[in-house]
Structure 1
């Protein structure tokens, strides 16, 4: 009888382990992201029914994810990292490919989750630079490579960093029709940023059939960005795509942009100019007075001699 009870307890423990994801801490998650090719992370919290529903779906397809992707499938509760990938509350499901996050934005369905992950095993967003932008997009020469939805960012922009997982999710929805890319306005894409008059980040521009459409909304959720790229851009006034700037024109633009970003420099330059102007006028005034004084002294000496 005792043996039967022991076997029953062991089976229950085994089944319990199979029905729950492995719980890890933030440090372990970061280590997995750095070292493993594929990692699926459920950001969860306690006493959360939607979180439990997601966990049940993930548990049912965990073996498929391990078999098809050799992926780690883990859960972390009340994590400080969750806001790096989504502004929403838990549950948040993120698929890391070579460390690049993709936010899952679909239904709570194991088949849909598996399809999304297995069809997006590689990062979707291309990194464009000043040297590669025109060659890959052909934005001003006919756009024969298709439409491009481009996010301009900078490494010191916190919101831009938090957008990466959502941007990959946008790419997962539109990749069959539209290319997505990123341009580092503060680094390797500075010239390109000035070419398209991008002054603040994050900024989004859709390049379509020789025209460009700017995303003016301050809503950076997956649905809003996806809808803009697919159809909502028609509500925006299209702009003609400017040709690449010559080095001189780009230098002038760079100076203008820098002065706008640093207005104190303009005030300093204006103050220096006015100071120089007043100094020049004062010098001319002094020089004009000196000959008159010398002439007056000469006349006085001549009068003294005549006496």
Structure 2
């Protein structure tokens, strides 16, 4: 009779030692403090009465020790967070890997191995940052040469939607990085000339560049699945390809910038019109004076 309680206690201890430990819960203020610090952070965004949330939470609980050890990451969860939509348009559940603040939204099967593999393979930023200075050199868009296909996100700092797509776009980059290049460019700062070249007039906009042609992503569904499907099945989409425009010359950029500046300021535009009129009048008077002098000189020669 004394043997049964001992066995029961040992079994209980074994079960307790193998069960997973709950993920530390934090509120939004704590989460902001964590992701703006120096640590890597893996955050699970979840909510109550959500079966898929519970499924993901169980998987993360089982591997949180590995995540902490191999990625040197803090693992936390946030219930009913107001920040979820910033990183995942589809809301809960969402698993986000903050690499010193830069977010990567997990997109893939809800399995321990897949999550570990994705995060381990993407400890650094996946998306390339382009500018007017390096765009053509890196993409070789006009020649369709050897650097492969490019999927480019045109963004701007004043675009709220763009800010909510950074984690999504990193997820796209992680999923496609062995097939193509995924990049982004600030169309109102370091990518003004490139945006003008491709007639990109708003944010966000997405272009898929392949072999001297480019395709515009015209859907309004901004999820990793939608972007990835578009990139992998580009020829099946109802998107008309356009020829990549040639590079503009520095003179063209200078003239475009100055014309845009003048048109954007009505007062400068008025001054410009007046200036052109004055210049035209001066040229006309100069011609009249020169013509009169020539006529007088000719008459004097004829009189001699």
TM-score in terms of structure 1 length: 0.77
The correspondence of residues 31-180 of structure 1 with structure 2, limited to 5 A, is 31-180=33-182
CA distance in 2, matches of 1:256, 1:175: 40
Q: Which moved more, 1:137-146 or 1:186-195?
A: 137-146
**223, 240, 243: which is aligned to 1:240?**
243
Distance 1:19 1:48, change over 3 A: farther
**166, 189, 192: which is aligned to 2:191?**
189
Q: Deviations over 1:41-79 (max 9, x none)?
A: 001123333222111100111111122111111101111
Residue of structure 2 equivalent to 1:211: 213
TM-score in terms of structure 2 length: 0.78
Residue of structure 2 equivalent to 1:249: 252
CA distance in 2, matches of 1:89, 1:130: 34
Cα distance, 1:269 vs structure 2: 5.0
Distance 1:214 1:233, change over 3 A: farther
CA distance in 1, matches of 2:221, 2:51: 27
Distance 1:258 1:226, change over 3 A: farther
CA distance in 2, matches of 1:17, 1:142: 55
Distance 1:143 1:31, change over 3 A: farther
Q: Which moved more, 1:135-144 or 1:184-193?
A: 135-144
Residue of structure 1 equivalent to 2:301: none
In structure 2, runs of 5+ residues without a counterpart are 1-5, 278-304
Retained in 1: the 8 A contact 2:44–2:77?
yes
Q: Which moved more, 1:151-160 or 1:100-109?
A: 100-109
CA distance in 2, matches of 1:150, 1:209: 14
Larger Rg: 1
Cα distance, 1:267 vs structure 2: 11
The correspondence of residues 14-33 of structure 1 with structure 2, limited to 5 A, is 18-33=20-35
CA distance in 1, matches of 2:215, 2:240: 7
Residue of structure 1 equivalent to 2:292: none
In structure 1, runs of 5+ residues without a counterpart are 278-307
Retained in 2: the 8 A contact 1:213–1:233?
no
CA distance in 1, matches of 2:169, 2:229: 13
CA distance in 1, matches of 2:39, 2:127: 17
What RMSD over aligned residues (CA atoms) do the two structures have, in Å? 3.1
Figure out how many residues of one structure are paired with residues of the other and give that number. 268
Retained in 1: the 8 A contact 2:144–2:210?
no
